Every structure is written in structure tokens, then in C-alpha cells.
Structure 1
Amino acid sequence: MKLYLAAAETVAIAVEAETIPINHYLRQPQRLVHAIADSSLMECLGGDRYRLKMHPLNLLDIYHFQPTVVLRVWADGKGNVYLNSESCEIRGIDYINDRFSLRVRGILSPIIRDGMTYLEGQANVEVSVELPPLLLFTPLSLLETTGKGLMRGVLSRIKQRLLSHLIADYHHWARGEEIPSDAALGVNYGLLIDP
């Protein structure tokens, strides 16, 4: 039996104006990735591709696993940032890894409305997984509720990092200030690989 899940998260953030508009900042999508991703769980693959690991998850206290996704993140000339998943892997449970698909799509755009700049965007996550035998007798409604809760939690953490880290990084960048320490911003700008 297959389980299909989908979740979406929208964001609208008012951005205090700097002398350099935020759309110039967003033309460097690697900064966005570094601002929203936990540095210990990210690896830059080169170009516009990144491997992102989620924090390890557990499903009904039975299965413990770590989803990993390769994302392509790019920007257009207007500062719109797009992301699209290219591949995925579930580390920790080979049975599920062989029967799992994950699709992530998103866009973040600078919008000017009534003289104010906003970052508006949406991220969509879709999951398809063939259930392992141990879960076949678990009520489908419980699996769907649990799965959607995990997905919404991941999207919510990304949104919170956008609200805090991305905007702070933009202001430091626009003012030509030193990049804050990891402790202050939660970001590392070097090559980020989780061993």
C-alpha cells in the first residue's frame, strides 16, 4: 500500500529598505541556502546544487530515519529565487529508501506594494512511500496525520529561519558589515559538510 502526502507553506515578510534593494541580494541564491539551512546538515555540491539533510526523524517511535534531498536553487534577474528537488534518499531504512519519492518546489520573490518591499513565497512538498509491512496494520488516518505533521514541521522550521536569519543576513550584507558569527546568526559560509 502506498501513502501519498502533500504540504505547503506560504510566507510574506515585510523587509526594511536598505540602500541596496533586496532583489540584488537574492540574485545570490547561495546566501539564501546558507541562511535557511542548518550548516551542519548541508553540503554545497557546486554550481546551484546543494545536498540538504533534515534532522533525523522518527515515525511512531518505530522507524528512525534521515531524509536527504539534492536541491537546485537559482535566481533570475529580478531577484526571484526558485528551488526544485533533483533527488532524494532516506538514510536509515533501506526498505523505505527503495520505495520513497520526495518532491520539493519553491519560489521566493521580492514584491513592492504601497512603497513597501515584501518577500513572498511558497514551498510545496510531496511524498510518496510504499508502507513497510510493520505499518500495514496501522490506521491510514494515523499515518497521514503523523506524516503531514512531520512535513509541516520541516516547512515551518524553514519559514522561521527565513524570518530571522535571511533578513538579518540581508541587512548585514547591504550595510557591508561583517558577517555575524554562527552563534549570532546560526549560519556558516564555508563549505558545509555533515560527516
Structure 2
Amino acid sequence: METVQFTSTESINLSVPQEKTPIQHYLRQPQRLVSAIANPKLMTQLSENRFHLKMRPLNFLDMYHFQPSVVLKVVADSNGTVTLTSESCEILGNDYINDRFGMNLKGKLYPVEKNGQVYLEGKADLKVDVDLPPPLWLTPRPMLETTGNGLLKSVLMRIKQKLMNQLIADYRQWANQATTSEPTKPSLSSPKTA
């Protein structure tokens, strides 16, 4: 039985507009981050930091059409560093591949300040191991690897594009809502203690 591994890595460096509420506060809300990169219709929140995502259907060598679905764990620390890890994966629409498929996604996103400007930097690594179906056993390995790696790269690029477009827009909207609702709370609500 032929097992093949596909890999792809994508990094991001994104300048963050200055708002009154720092982006670290925004990044500590995993559901907002996941909503920015995933289609809300294909996402289910399982717990505070676990999400079930269905990806768009994929096509491999025009022979296999399938839809990956993954459970993602998203954890943010107090500095706003977000870690994404895939916990489990299922291939919808192809039982043969589903039974012989493993996926590992690891990602990190964190704010960095350089010369007074805040940037979001991060990196995602995606790795897939799959036992090839018999019709692909005679396909040249370099061709399989190039196709598979390209497929993973397109998945990561789509996530990156959504991050770059949706995340900042959502952050700005969230920060403006946070500042407009602020005046209702008195600034010195608790008495100072010596």
C-alpha cells in the first residue's frame, strides 16, 4: 500500500490599525477569530475553544472529490498569542480516503510592536498523510506530491486571504463597539484602596 505525505507552510505579516482597544483583547476571543477565517454556515462551536469546521469541497487530480471537516482547538494566552491545533479530521464524501487519511494543522498568530506600529505575525503548518487508492498507485510520485502540496497551499492561502481581509475589518468593528459602549461604565467604579 502506497502512503504519501503532503505538506505546506504559510506565514503572515499584517499591519494592524490603531484602535483604542488593543488587538490583544480581541485575540483572546477564539470564536471571533474562527468566525473571521471560516464560513459561519460551515462552522459549529463545540465548546469555548473547540470548533467543528467543514472546508470547501476539494478536487484531487479530477478523480477524487471530497470535503474535509476538522475539529480545531483555538487557545489564546493573556498576551494575545493564539494557537490553533487540529484535534481530529474527517473526509466527507469518500469513505476509502477517510479511513486512510490523517491531517495535522498547527498555527500561531501573535501581535508584535515595531517602531510604534502593531503587526500580526504568524505561521501555519499543514501536513496530510494518506494511503493512496489503487488507481493512483501507478501515478508518478513527484506528480502526486506536487498536486497534493499545491492543494494544501491553496487551502492555507484561502485562510490567509480571509485573515487579511476579514480579521482586521472585524477587529475594527469590535473595537469601535467596545469604545462606544464604554461611557456607560463609570471610570472609577471601585474605590481606591491604600
TM-score, reference length from structure 2: 0.89
> Runs in 1 of length 4+ with deviation above 6 angstroms?
none
| Structure 2 residue 156 is matched with structure 1 residue 155 | yes
What is the Cα deviation at residue 19 of structure 1?
0.6
What is the Cα deviation at residue 40 of structure 1?
2.0
User: Within 5 Å, which residues of 2 pair with 1:111-150?
Assistant: 111-150=112-151
| Structure 2 residue 73 is matched with structure 1 residue 72 | yes
Identity %: 54
- Secondary structure (helix, strand or coil) at the match of 2:79 reads coil
What is the Cα deviation at residue 30 of structure 1?
1.0
Structure 2 residue aligned with 1:4: 5
User: Within 5 Å, which residues of 2 pair with 1:84-95?
Assistant: 84-95=85-96
Structure 2 residue aligned with 1:176: 177
Structure 1 residue aligned with 2:166: 165
Q: Which runs of 5+ in 1 are unaligned?
A: 178-195
What is the Cα deviation at residue 29 of structure 1?
1.4
1:43-72 C-alpha deviation (Å, 9 max, x unpaired)? 111221111111111111111101111000
The code of the aligned residue for 2:44 comes to: E
Structure 1 residue aligned with 2:192: none
User: Within 5 Å, which residues of 2 pair with 1:35-74?
Assistant: 35-74=36-75
Distance 2:31 2:83 in 1: 11
RMSD: 0.9
- Secondary structure (helix, strand or coil) at the match of 1:161 reads helix
Q: Which runs of 5+ in 2 are unaligned?
A: 179-194
Distance 1:96 1:148 in 2: 17
- Secondary structure (helix, strand or coil) at the match of 1:46 reads coil
What is the Cα deviation at residue 93 of structure 1?
1.2
TM-score, reference length from structure 1: 0.89
1:61-112 C-alpha deviation (Å, 9 max, x unpaired)? 1111011110000100001111101000111111111111000000100101
